[in-house]
Chain A
Amino acid sequence: MLKKTPFYEMHVKNNGRIVEFAGFLMPVQFEGIIPEHRTVRIDVGVFDVSHMGEIEILGKDRLKFVNYLTTNDASKLELNQIQYSTMLYPDTGIVDDLLVYNFKDRILLVVNAANTDKDYQWIINNKKYDIDIKNISDDIGQLAVQGPKAESVMQKVFDLDLSTLRYYWATEVKMQGIPVLLSRTGYTGEDGFEVYVDKKYAVQCWPMIFDAGAEYNIKPIGLGARDTLRFEMRYCLYGNDIDKTTNPLEAGLGWVVKFDKGDFIGRDKLLKIKEAGVKRKLVGFEVIGKGIPRPHQEIHAEDRKIGFVTSGTFSPSRNKGMGIGYVEKPHNKVGTRIKVIGKTPVDAEVIKGPFYKQGSRK
């Protein structure tokens, strides 16, 4: 049985093209991926991300437990602060990438929709110390409001001075009378907010945001543009760029692995990999000439396979085909020429950093 988010009727009304995604009926696009992509880069767009999973960790040892469960150093979190992190299997494969919210009475883990049940089970199986685990995913609606105009729109909806809410911080606040969790987060490279709200009030939040955003050209955005936006920032997508067969070091997520914080699941093996050096790296590359890389295509250099594409599409901002993939070292070096093997092989060059560098992210 496919699930509907609290905003499903709005998507139908807005002529969204509905597809199945991670067990949910979700809009993949409204007016088109490229115009929606540009709306978020130039103005502001609203994503229904209610399919994301929310798992609460309660009890006095919650911080100690989350620090054992995840790779980033949760003990560094201040109250209301958020951290991007990963959870690993003991063999260093990635269970999921997630956000860790530290509140005065609980820790909230926000996980990928397709992984919610798996993650919940994983956390239960690894439970230790004095804690409780609650999967509240089915009770929560979530909207992401993203784009350079996001603050102007949301300032009309909230009494709180939003310039005081910094990137990767959250607050529990009323949205025109409705209790919500508001965070300055997102996965687009633009400034923006995410609003978590009890399912029973969720549908009321939609018109509040759209009324406030009308003067800023606000529009609903589907999963298609959500993917091209994160892709241009080279943010990892679980199931494409990272999964149980990849470790965070080769995926370029070493910045969320803190070996000096004490033990965590996967630490021992990952430390050995770090000491020996990873054999492959996730790189971004730009097509030279025509062609669009696609996931699973082989990457060749010196006439042999040296890797494979994990994400590949047309970059609306760069107006060309770009890709992300694993390549054997030393082919990860910036400037390396590679060949992407599609129906017609295309030449590409390993490049540095995100594909889009002008984002409004604060």
Chain B
Amino acid sequence: MANIMEGLKYTKEHEWVKIEGDTALEGLTDYAQSELSDIVMIEPPEVGRKVNAGEPVGTIEAVKAVSDLYAGLTGEIIEINEKVVSDPSIINKDPYGEGWLFKTKLDDPSQAETLLTPEQYKELIAKH
């Protein structure tokens, strides 16, 4: 059973968002990393890029499949997890911790209210 962390927001694209003031940390959910399995390459967005919520901003390559990486919220990318870029298997091992992907400076932190709660995300993956 996939682990869903309390205190985070979730997207339909199986990413988690952690709000920290006017910034957000984003990553892949445990469900997503488990479905993809064996993540071997990631192409993250560039620092400084303006992104819109729900927009594809990069790719995640696993052995068997490639998946788009989406922005959870609107803002500017201010940091990329370089450790994960050089060793993407960290995402499989620790998706909610060391495996975070990028940090966004939010245009409007209240936009986070539009995302899924842990309960709603749990319902979403139960349908898969």
Contact = CB atoms under 8 A, between A and B. Distances in A.
B66 A32 contact: no
Contacts of B92: 32
Contact of A33 (B38, B41, B66): B38
Contacts of A342: 66
Contacts of A344: 43, 59
Interface string B58-97: 0101111010000000000000000000000100100000
A292 B64 contact: no
A308 interface: no
A104 interface: no
A33 B34 CA distance: 12
B63 to A, nearest CB: 5
Given A32-B92, A313-B63, A314-B61, A292 B38 contact: no
Interface string B12-56: 000000000000000000000000011011010000000000000
Contacts of A292: 40-41, 61, 66
Given A224-B64, A294-B66, A344-B43, A32 B59 contact: no
B64 A313 contact: yes
Contacts of B38: 32-34, 224, 314
Contacts of A228: 63
Contacts of B66: 292, 294, 342-343
Contacts of B59: 343-344
Contacts of B37: 17, 29, 32-33, 224
Interface string A282-310: 00000000111010000000000000000
Question: Which of B66, B89, B92 counts the most chain A CB atoms within 10 A?
Answer: B66
B91 to A, nearest CB: 13
Interface residues of B, number: 13
Contacts of A321: 41, 61
A290 B64 contact: no
B63 A314 contact: yes
A34 B63 contact: yes
Interface residues of A, number: 18
A97 B9 CA distance: 50
Nearest to A290: B41
Contacts of A316: 63
Question: Which of B41, B59, B61, B63 counts the most chain A CB atoms within 10 A?
Answer: B63
B41 A224 contact: no
Question: Which of A34, A290, A344 counts the most chain B CB atoms within 10 A?
Answer: A34
A32 B91 CA distance: 14
Nearest to B89: A34
B40 A314 contact: yes
Contacts of A33: 37-38, 63-64
Contacts of B41: 290-292, 314, 321
A228 B62 CA distance: 12
Contacts of B40: 34, 292, 314
B39 to A, nearest CB: 10
B2 to A, nearest CB: 13
Nearest to B35: A17
B41 to A, nearest CB: 6
Contact of B43 (A29, A34, A290, A314): A290
Nearest to A343: B59
Nearest to B34: A17
B14 to A, nearest CB: 17
A29 B63 CA distance: 12
A29 B34 CA distance: 11
B43 A224 contact: no
14 contacts: A29-B37, A32-B38, A33-B37, A33-B38, A34-B40, A34-B89, A291-B61, A292-B66, A313-B63, A314-B38, A314-B61, A314-B62, A314-B63, A343-B66
Given A292-B41, A314-B40, A342-B66, 18 more contacts: A17-B37, A32-B92, A33-B37, A33-B64, A34-B40, A34-B63, A34-B89, A224-B64, A291-B61, A292-B40, A292-B61, A292-B66, A314-B38, A314-B41, A316-B63, A321-B41, A343-B59, A344-B59
Interface of B: 37-38, 40-41, 43, 59, 61-64, 66, 89, 92
Interface of A: 17, 29, 32-34, 224, 228, 290-292, 294, 313-314, 316, 321, 342-344
* Those 8 A-B pairs whose CB atoms lie nearest each other, nearest first: A314-B40, A33-B63, A33-B38, A292-B61, A34-B38, A314-B63, A32-B38, A313-B63
